[in-house]
Structure formats: C-alpha cells, structure tokens
C-alpha cells in the first residue's frame, strides 16, 4: 500500500475515529423501530460492548469492599471537603452533601434487590411481604434505615433506635452506632473534637428520608461511652409537614 498524501492520511485518521462509533450507532439503530429516531451519534460503547444496562445489579450483592481502600478513599473525601471550609459546621455540611445523593441511590438499589431476591433483606421490618412496600410511616422508615440499609452499607444492623423523650421535640429520633466504620480510621485533632466524620453517613440517611418523602435534617453527634469510645448518635429531625401527615395517616389507620 502506497503512503497516502498527508492530507488524506489526516482524513483517514479522522475517519478511523468516527468509524467505531458510527458502526455501533448503526447497530443500535437497527434494534429500534424507525419511528423513534435517536441521537446515537455521540454514543460510545465500551470495547467489550457492555453498557451499564447489560450488567446485573445483583452481581455485586454479596461482594465485599476492601476496608483499606474504603478507609483511604474516605480519608481523601474528608481532606477534599476540608479545603476552604470556614469551620467544623461547614465541614460537616459538606460531608453531609457528599452522602446525600448516595442515599437516594441506595434506596432504589435496596428495593430493587429485595424485589428480585426471594430471601428478603427487609424481613426485619414489620412488614415482610415479598414485594416490599414503600415506607409510609416514620417508624417503618426508621426500621428500614436501622436494619436493611445498615446491613447493605456495613454488613450489620445499627445498634439502637430511640425516640426523643422530650415532649418539646416529638419529631426527633435517634439511631445509634456503637462503632461506625467511617470513623474507625479517622483521628480527629483535639481542637476539633466537635467534628464527627459520620456526618457523611448522616447525609446518606438524609437522602434516604428525603427520597421516601420524609423531609428531615440528620446530624451525627459524638456520644462516647467507656466501652465504645467512638459511639455516634444520628439525630433525625423530621419536618413539620411530615409530622402533620403522620397524624393524618395514623387517624386513617395506615401502617
């Protein structure tokens, strides 16, 4: 094959870039009825032709993540959040914001996995019918967080679930974790002893609550005991609208 002139060589390079894409777009276009023309031009399929839609969501269901890599990643996340913050509150807010979208996603994943597998992971909650129900009441939601969500994230249930005893704050609930995984490898300096990096987990909880339609503010607090020095309490404060709806649903007898 003779060497092509320079301009045509450049042309062939640009063609070569275009060909695999157009080939794949042709393929996906034949799969669709012609009535819905799709902008498949920009679609790039991985070399093994497996998009995220070809992967099974339950494949990694029992897979465990390396604790070392998680600790490393989480430490980086904290460092990242710590840049240009004004104080501990701000830092916790940023960690919370990082966790929030995760909560929204986990909620869908959790329900998907319980609908597709017969061994119900939601079975510890009061309703254990095979297609799990969306939580309608606060208590169902809290059981969902305390049990299935915690097991999905940390491989065990949370340690305690309490309702605020104070009559002024009936909208406050507490979930306790005696030894949160996220704090295991975090050493907080003495001058920042207010900081609790489990604010990230609080963000996840907030995402789950919001996703279910329960507007809530969630924060993480240190409550060390003799036995559990890194014991953390997640304080969930539900909004006015949630409490009003809760009353209506209670009257209607909905669980």
Partner 1 sequence: MSYYFTILSPTDTPIFNIAFGTSKGGGDGIARFRFPDTAQYMNQFIIHSSLDIVEEAQWTNGGMYLKHIDTYPPAAAYISAFLTPSGARFLLLHQPPQLPNSGSGSGLGSSSLLGSSGNLARGSTSSIAANPTSPQTEEAVRQFMTEVYENYVKTAMSPFYKQGMEIRSPVFRTRVNAAGKKWL
Positions touching partner 1 (CB under 8 A) are 28, 31-33, 35-36, 38-40, 43, 51-53, 55, 57, 101, 104-105, 107-112, 115-116, 127, 131, 133-136, 211-213, 245, 249, 252, 254
The nearer residue to partner 1, 67 or 255, going by C-beta atoms, is 255
The nearer residue to partner 1, 216 or 233, going by C-beta atoms, is 216
Q: Which helix (H) or strand (E) holds 202?
A: helix 199-211
The nearer residue to partner 1, 179 or 215, going by C-beta atoms, is 215
First to last CA, the chain: 77
The nearer residue to partner 1, 5 or 39, going by C-beta atoms, is 39
How far is CA 180 from each of CA 55, 116, 249, rounded to the nearest angstrom? 31, 29, 34
Nearest to 163 by CA among 178, 155, 173, 153: 173
CB of 140 to partner 1, least distance (A): 8
Q: Which helix (H) or strand (E) holds 150?
A: helix 150-154
Pairing of strands 232-238, 216-222: antiparallel
The nearer residue to partner 1, 35 or 86, going by C-beta atoms, is 35
| CB 74 within 8 Å of CB 65 | no
CB of 82 to partner 1, least distance (A): 22
The nearer residue to partner 1, 108 or 162, going by C-beta atoms, is 108
CB of 151 to partner 1, least distance (A): 16
CA–CA distance, 240 with 219 (Å, rounded to integer)? 17
| CB 184 within 8 Å of CB 245 | no
CB of 97 to partner 1, least distance (A): 12
Q: Which two tokens stand for residue 233?
A: 């309490």
The nearer residue to partner 1, 131 or 167, going by C-beta atoms, is 131
CB of 32 to partner 1, least distance (A): 6
CA–CA distance, 255 with 252 (Å, rounded to integer)? 9
The string of DSSP letters for 153-197 reads HHSS--SEEEE---TT-TTEEEEEESS-GGGTT----GGGTT--T
CB of 118 to partner 1, least distance (A): 15
CB of 65 to partner 1, least distance (A): 15
CA–CA distance, 98 with 209 (Å, rounded to integer)? 15
């Amino acid at each position: 094959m003779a060497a092509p002139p320079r301009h045509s060589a450049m042309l062939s390079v640009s063609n070569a870039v275009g060909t695999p894409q157009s080939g794949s777009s042709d393929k996906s276009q034949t799969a669709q009825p012609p009535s819905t023309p799709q902008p498949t031009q920009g679609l790039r399929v991985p070399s093994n032709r497996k998009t995220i839609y070809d992967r099974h969501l339950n494949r990694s269901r029992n897979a465990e993540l390396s604790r070392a890599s998680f600790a490393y990643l989480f430490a980086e996340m904290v460092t990242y959040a710590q840049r240009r913050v004004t104080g501990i509150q701000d830092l916790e807010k940023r960690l919370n914001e990082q966790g929030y979208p995760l909560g929204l996603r986990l909620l869908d994943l959790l329900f998907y996995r319980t609908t597709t597998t017969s061994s119900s992971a939601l079975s510890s909650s009061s309703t254990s019918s095979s297609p799990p129900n969306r939580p309608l009441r606060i208590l169902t939601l809290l059981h969902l967080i305390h049990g299935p969500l915690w097991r999905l994230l940390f491989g065990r249930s949370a340690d305690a679930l309490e309702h605020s005893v104070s009559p002024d704050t009936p909208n406050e609930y507490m979930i306790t974790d005696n030894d949160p995984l996220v704090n295991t490898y975090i050493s907080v300096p003495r001058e920042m002893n207010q900081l609790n990096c489990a604010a990230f987990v609080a963000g996840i909880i907030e995402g789950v609550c919001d996703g279910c339609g329960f507007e809530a503010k969630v924060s993480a607090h240190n409550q060390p005991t003799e036995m559990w020095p890194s014991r953390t309490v997640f304080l969930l404060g539900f909004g006015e609208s949630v409490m009003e709806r809760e009353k209506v649903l209670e009257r209607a007898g909905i669980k």
